[in-house]
């Protein structure tokens, strides 16, 4: 079921292969829209710190959940490519009649943002990738998911959450704090096994030409990354070499779950990036 | 349900994520075993010409159907990686207690064969890849499946079969013959939409080191390819450059469905390859 919160958008399914995307549309419909996209195993709950602050700063905030994550169901078939997630976003933004926006995505969310921006340079003023990159992974980067998928399929999503909490594989210190581990467990276990498996396999299908296309577009490209997140540190370093205009901020001593680890520092950078874009955008419309 | 034909193997599910692989085990259990693996959209029916001939030549023939194809169901979840198909084969050959064999695979079947052989050099004497290769695809090779998946999901597998028959995209002349187009339709439409979609996405997950590993193993590597199958002609040319010991036979004027297009020529090459392997293998066991 498609739902909006607050109730200021129409309800109804709008995807031809019957994915019912759950989204929330907060703030004034006339304000500049920010689109928030969560990581694999995440959902709208991960933005609980950011949404009220962004609203207070005068933005419209649209957050949604990708296939198989919490309140968004799967398609008629389980497997999907990244391009299908991009199409889902396309349908959502058409449904909401969004003509200009900034997309903020964490991990797979940032990949969706970058692929979408590459295809819709007229709509997307800027993307902010949080522990994410617009580049294809190397094979070794995705190998840990052979194990995570096996745990999810044979033991269930709760067992996988416990395994992640025990192995600290995505954060060195974060999950030692019960408040954070409880929150992680609560969020992560709302993911369906099917959704988790399909999303980790979709990571193989990232298009190889995203940086090249963004290169020649006017879309601003920002990144925020935890210094301990080796994979995205490497991919963003490579991206920066190919696209010097990329602005990257590194959060020292932080890992993949930077949103939970350093909420205040992360927010300060985020608001700086999106304010820059909004101001440039408002300035542009005034002079034209 | 796991089934065997003739009834000379145990019945019962044997995969921990509940994939029930349908297989047929023909011929004398003491004869040298050949494993046959069909392409995406295929199933055991495509081997109707080869199975009796191979049996007549004294081989044991084991043919099975991959996930989501005709009589083999899906896993609990829809999406899978190539590695999962390799694991399914691993479980089947363990179940049948196969210690030595040759694997013959068409298209995705040959990819499974090559990945399996790379991991089980002790078990696999030889692989024969029919319009297939052990190399990763380029992104452009897989792009046609954005359209095929869309047709399958929104219009069904029958519509996709008709689309393929109309567009001749996998064979220039074959489907002009009603006998062949009827056969193709009959085979192809036994595939579930979920199985087709998952398999085409799994093609992104081929391991990148298969040629390197086969290079250093004793496994013989053979290939048969239709001269009009541009993708596999290119990939096999690259494979041959990296692995000069690869034996490739090109069937002129033939395309992807070489098994149906040139059954006799194809079989002659096939029997030459597998006889060479069987004789080498028998010779080896005599002298040790």
Which band of pLDDT confidence, cut at 50, 70 and 90, is reported for residue A17?
A: low
Looking at residue A18, its pLDDT comes to 59
B204 touches chain A (CB under 8 A): yes
Tokens coding A215:
């290169």
Task: Determine the residue of chain A that is closest to B15 in CA distance.
Answer: A154
Burial B117-141, CB ≥16 within 10 A → b, else e = bbbbeebbbbbbbbbbbbbbbeeee
Which band of pLDDT confidence, cut at 50, 70 and 90, is reported for residue A4?
A: very low
Helices A144-155 and A157-167 pack at an angle, to 10 degrees, of 140
Could you give the CA distance from residue B15 to residue B86 in angstroms, rounded to a whole number? 12
B141 touches chain A (CB under 8 A): no
Could you give the CA distance from residue A243 to residue A246 in angstroms, rounded to a whole number? 6
Give the residue among B78, B35, B71 at the shortest CA–CA distance from B198.
B78
3-class SS of residue A101: strand
Could you give the CA distance from residue A10 to residue A94 in angstroms, rounded to a whole number? 12
**From start to end of chain A, where are the E strands?**
23-26, 33-37, 60-64, 101-106, 124-130, 220-226, 247-251
Q: Are strands A124-130 and A220-226 parallel, antiparallel or unpaired?
A: parallel
Looking at residue A286, its pLDDT comes to 40
Q: In angstroms, what CA-CA distances link A64 with A61, A95, A118?
A: 10, 13, 20
Burial B93-110, CB ≥16 within 10 A → b, else e = bebbebeebbbbbbbbbb
Helices B108-119 and B82-95 pack at an angle, to 10 degrees, of 70
For residue B184, count CB atoms less than 10 angstroms from its CB and return exposed for 0-12, middle for 13-18, buried for 19 or more. buried
Among the listed ranges A53-57, A266-270, B1-5, B256-260, which one has the minimum average pLDDT value? B1-5
pLDDT at residue A5 is higher than 70: no
Taking each continuous run of H as one helix and of E as one strand, the counts in chain A are 11, 7
A77–B78 C-beta distance less than 8 A: yes
Taking each continuous run of H as one helix and of E as one strand, the counts in chain B are 12, 7
pLDDT digits (tens, 9 = 90+) for A102-152: 999 999 999 999 999 999 999 999 999 999 999 999 999 999 999 999 999
Tokens coding A114:
């970058």
Q: In angstroms, what CA-CA distances link A233 with A41, A132, A133, A250, A280?
A: 21, 9, 9, 9, 28
Within 10 angstroms of residue A285's Cβ, the number of other Cβ atoms is: 8
Which band of pLDDT confidence, cut at 50, 70 and 90, is reported for residue A22?
A: very high
DSSP string, B153-199: HHH-HHHHHHHHHHHTTT-SSGGGSHHHHHHHHHHHTTB-HHHHHHH
Residues of B in contact with A78 (CB under 8 A): 74, 77-79, 194, 197-198
* Cα angle, residue A254 at apex, residues A110 and A52 outer, rounded to 5°: 60
Interface test with A, best of B201, B202, B203, B213 (most A CBs within 10 A): B201
pLDDT digits (tens, 9 = 90+) for A172-230: 677 778 888 899 999 999 999 999 999 999 999 999 999 999 999 999 999 999 999 99
Q: Which of A8-17, A123-132, A161-170 has the highest mean pLDDT?
A: A123-132
**Angstroms from B153 CA to nearest CA on chain A:** 7
pLDDT at residue A256 is higher than 70: yes
B191 touches chain A (CB under 8 A): no
**Angstroms from B36 CA to nearest CA on chain A:** 25
Residues of A in contact with B149 (CB under 8 A): 81
A81–B201 C-beta distance less than 8 A: yes
Residues of B in contact with A139 (CB under 8 A): 207-208
Looking at residue A149, its pLDDT comes to 96
Query: Chains A, B: CB contacts under 8 A, how many?
Result: 78
Give the residue among B270, B205, B121, B226 at the shortest CA–CA distance from A200.
B205
Cβ-based neighbours of A214, under 8 Å, separated by 6 or more: A114, A117, A118, A134, A221, A243
Give the residue among A170, A191, A134 at the shortest CA–CA distance from A261.
A170
Looking at residue A14, its pLDDT comes to 39
**Angstroms from A272 CA to nearest CA on chain B:** 36
pTM over 0.95: no
pLDDT at residue A37 is higher than 70: yes
Could you give the CA distance from residue A31 to residue A282 in angstroms, rounded to a whole number? 11
Q: Decide if B43 contacts B71 (C-beta within 8 A).
A: yes
Looking at residue A9, its pLDDT comes to 35
Could you give the CA distance from residue B46 to residue B39 in angstroms, rounded to a whole number? 9
pLDDT means per 10 residues, chain B with 288 residues, are 37 53 95 97 96 96 97 92 96 95 98 98 96 97 96 95 81 78 94 97 98 95 95 98 97 86 92 88 49
Task: Determine the residue of chain B that is closest to A192 in CA distance.
Answer: B77
Looking at residue B285, its pLDDT comes to 45
Mean per-residue pLDDT, A224-238: 96
Mean per-residue pLDDT, A11-39: 81
> Going edge to edge, which strands form the sheet with B101-106?
B23-26, B60-64, B33-37, B101-106, B124-130, B220-226, B247-251
Which band of pLDDT confidence, cut at 50, 70 and 90, is reported for residue A76?
A: confident
Tokens coding A93:
């933004």
Which band of pLDDT confidence, cut at 50, 70 and 90, is reported for residue A13?
A: very low
B79–A198 C-beta distance less than 8 A: yes
B81–A204 C-beta distance less than 8 A: yes
């Amino acid at each position: 079921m498609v739902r909006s919160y607050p109730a200021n958008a129409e309800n109804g399914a709008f995807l031809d292969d019957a994915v019912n995307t759950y989204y929330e549309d907060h703030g004034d419909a006339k304000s500049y829209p920010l689109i928030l996209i969560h990581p694999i195993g995440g959902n709208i709950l991960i933005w609980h710190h950011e949404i009220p602050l962004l609203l207070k700063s005068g933005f419209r905030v649209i957050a949604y959940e990708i296939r198989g994550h919490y309140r968004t169901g799967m398609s008629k078939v389980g497997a999907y490519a990244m391009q299908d997630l991009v199409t889902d976003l396309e349908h959502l933004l058409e449904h909401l009649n969004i003509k200009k926006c900034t997309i903020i995505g964490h991990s797979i969310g940032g990949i969706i943002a970058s692929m979408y921006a590459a295809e819709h340079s007229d709509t997307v003023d800027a993307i902010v990738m949080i522990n994410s990159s617009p580049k294809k992974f190397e094979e070794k980067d995705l190998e840990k998911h052979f194990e995570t998928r096996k745990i999810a399929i044979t033991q269930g999503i709760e067992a996988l959450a416990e395994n992640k909490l025990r192995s600290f594989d995505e954060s060195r210190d974060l999950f030692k704090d019960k408040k954070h581990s409880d929150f992680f467990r609560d969020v992560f276990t709302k993911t369906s096994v099917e959704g988790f498996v399909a999303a980790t396999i979709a990571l193989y299908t990232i298009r190889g030409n995203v940086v090249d296309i963004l290169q020649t577009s006017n879309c601003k490209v920002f990144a925020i990354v935890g210094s301990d997140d080796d994979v995205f540190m490497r991919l963003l370093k490579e991206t920066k070499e190919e696209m010097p205009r990329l602005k990257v901020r590194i959060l020292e001593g932080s890992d993949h779950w930077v949103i939970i680890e350093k909420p205040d520092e992360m927010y300060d950078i985020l608001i700086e990036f999106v304010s820059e874009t909004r101001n440039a955008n408002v300035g542009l419309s005034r002079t034209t």
